[in-house]
Structure 1
C-alpha cells in the first residue's frame, strides 16, 4: 500500500534540497559547470537532510529504493556527485505540483481512497509488517488470525476457533456455562437488532471460511487491491465486534 504524505511539507523538503544542492554546485563566481563539487560545509548541510529527502522522494515517486543523493566520486579527490539526486528531487516536486491536474484530466476519477492505516487497529497492526514486505496473502492471514485470537480472549473460548468460533459466539441460543455470546446491543424484538445479530453470525463465519482459510492454505499471493479489500472486510467485522456486548450464563446459586 503506498504511503501517504503531506504535499505541502513534501514540497518544503524537496524545495530546500533543490535550493541547497544547486548552491553547492556553484563556484565562487556563481557559475555551475559540473554535476559534482568538492565536499565541504555546503555538502555537509545537505547530508543532515539527505535521509529525510530520500524518503520523501521515495514516497512521492513510489520508489521502493532511492540511492544516495550525495554520492562520492571515485576519482581519488574529495568530490561528491549531486546532479542525480537533484534530478530526482525536481521530478518529485513536479509530480506534486501537477498531481491534482493529472488526476482530474487523465484518470478522470474523483473516487475516494482509503488509507490502510485507517483500518481497525487490530487488523492493520497485525497485517502492516507483512504488507510492507510485499506478502499480501500472509498479511490477510495474520490479520484474521489475530481477530480470531481477539474473539477467543473476549469470550474465553480456547476450545474452538475460526468459523466454528464465530458460529458459537454469535449464536442466537442462550449462553451456557463456559460458552458466552457476543450480542449486538438492543431490544430483542427490534427488527434491525435481529438483522444485525443474524448477519454477524453469517458474516463472521463467512470471513473465516472465505478469507482466512484460502489465505492460510494457498501458496499463491494476492494482488494488493484484492488483499486490501479483504482486510477492509475483516476490519468491518472487528468494528462490529467492538460494538457487541458479552452475554454470559447466570452463575449457579451456591
Structure 2
C-alpha cells in the first residue's frame, strides 16, 4: 500500500469537505429521489420548479470543480460502490449521472461515499501521524520535487507506476526546455548541450554548478572531486537511458518500490538542477 504524508491526506480530507458543502448547496435546488422510486429508469435528481437556471448551473460548476479534487481521495481510500454490470464506480467523480436517465446511484450514495472517504482518511491520518513518531522515516511521494510529483501523481494514485515514472521524466525535460527556450532540440541532445562544459552559445543557454571552478571540490580526482557539472551530464544521460527510455519503450510494469526509487532519483536530479546557474551568451559572445 502506498504511503502518504499527513499533510497530503489532510489536503484530501479538506477537498472532500469542500465537495460535500458544494454538493449540498446544489441539492437545495433539486428534488431528491432514490433508485427504488426511480425504478431504475429515471434520474434520481431533477431541478425544483421555479429555480433560476443560471444559479443552478453555477452551483453545478462548483460541484464539478470540487468533485475533481475529492475524487482523488476516493482513489486513495478505495471507497467505491459496486454497480451491477459495471463493477466498482466512484459516485463522487460521476455525481452528474444522477441527472441522467437510468441513474446509477442516488444522492444518498454520494453522501455515504463522501462520509466513508472521510472516515478512512481520518484513520489514515492517525496512522501517518503515529508512524511519523517512530525512528524510521516514511517515504511520501507527495514530498518529491514539485515538477516530478505533479506529473506522476495522477498515475501513481491509480497504481500505474511505470506511466507515473515516464511522465515525471518527460515533465522535467519539458520544464527545463521551456525555461531555457530550447524547444528546438530533442531531449537527449538538450541535456548534453545544456550540461556540457564550456561557454554558452547564442540560443543555447547552459546550466552550471555555482562556485569557483578552481575550488578543490570541483577539480579533477587528483586534486579533489570530478566537476559536478560533468557529473550532472552523466546523471542526465544515465537516467535517460536506464529509466526514461525503458518506461517509454516497454510495457513492463514497475512495482511500487521500483517506481519510488526511480521517482526519487529524478527528484534528486531536479533539486540539483534548481541549484545551478543559468548562463546565457550575450551578443558579444560572453556569458551572463
1:93 equivalent to 2:112? Answer: no
What secondary structure does 2:279 align onto?
strand
Q: Which residue of 1 aligns with 2:145?
A: 119
Given that 1:140 and 1:215 are in contact with CA atoms closer than 8 Å, whether structure 2 keeps it comes out as: yes
- Displacement of 1:187: 0.9
241-250 vs 58-67, which moves further: 241-250
Query: What aligned pairs does 1:39-188 form with structure 2 within 5 A after superposition?
Result: 48=60, 51=64, 55=68, 58-62=71-75, 63=78, 65-67=89-91, 71=98, 81-103=106-128, 111=138, 113-115=140-142, 119-121=145-147, 123=148, 136-145=161-170, 147-148=172-173, 150=176, 154=180, 162=188, 166=191, 169-172=194-197, 174-175=198-199, 182-188=207-213
Task: Say if 2:252 is the partner of 1:220.
Answer: yes
Separation of aligned partners in 2, 1:57 and 1:157:
35
Structure 1 residues 157, 192: closer, same or farther in 2, change over 3 A? Answer: farther
1:115 match: secondary structure: helix
CA distance in 2, matches of 1:19, 1:148: 43
| Residues in 1 aligned to 2:98 and 2:181: alpha-carbon distance in whole angstroms | 57
User: Which protein is bigger by CA-based radius of gyration?
Assistant: 1
- The alpha carbon displacement at 1:218 in A equals 1.7
1:244 is matched with which residue? 277
- Counterparts of 1:198 and 1:237 in 2: how far apart (Å)? 13
Closer, same or farther in 2 for the Cα pair 1:201/1:58, shift >3 Å?
closer
CA spacing shift, 1:93–1:180, aligned 2, 3 Å: closer
CA deviation after TM superposition for structure 1 residue 186, in Å: 1.0
- The aligned residue for residue 16 of structure 2 is 10
* SS in structure 2 of the partner of residue 111 of structure 1: coil
- Contact 1:11/1:96 (8 A) holds in 2: no
- In the alignment of these two chains, the number of paired residues is 235
Distance 1:207 1:215 in 2: 11
Q: Distance in 2 between matches of 1:170 and 1:86?
A: 53
State the Cα RMSD in Å: 5.5
From 192, 195, 204, the counterpart of 2:217: 192
Unaligned runs of 5+ in 1: 27-33
TM-score normalised by the chain length of structure 2: 0.52
In the alignment, structure 1 residue 201 sits paired with structure 2 residue 207? no
